[in-house]
Amino acid sequence: MPLAVDHVFICVENPQAAERALADFGLQFGRRRIHQGQGTANACAFFDNAYLELLWRHDDDELQSEVVRPLGLWERVRWRETGASPFGVAFRPEDDNVPIET
C-alpha cells in the first residue's frame, strides 16, 4: 500500500514565538486544539496535501500517563533535556479506498 506524507510535527516550547517565526516565511496557522487525554496542544498550517503541526506541552500528567507514555511525547516535548527528536512525520495511505471490515 503506497503511503503519502500526512503531516510533519515539531515540538516547540513557545508556540507563539514559533508561529511568529514561521509567519515570517508566509505560513498561516489556522486550527488550534488541545488534545484531551494526550497532554498536548497544537497549531496547524495547512497545505494542499499535508500540514505542519506545532506541538507543545499542555498537561504533564496526561503526557506521562500509562496510555500516552509509549508514544514518546514526554521525551519529545522536552527534547532539550532528553535529546529526543522534536520532529515527527505521519503518513496516510494514498488510496482512499482502503477496505475496512465492519
Rounded to the nearest 10°, the torsion over CA 37, 38, 41, 43 is -120
pLDDT category of residue 33 using cuts at 50, 70 and 90: very high
84-102 average pLDDT score: 85
Q: Using the predicted structure, report yes or no on whether residue 98 has a pLDDT greater than 70.
A: no
Cα distances (angstroms) measured from residue 16 to each of 13, 23, 67, 83: 9, 10, 28, 23
Structural domains of the chain ordered from first start: 3-93 (3.10.180.10)
pLDDT for position 1: 78
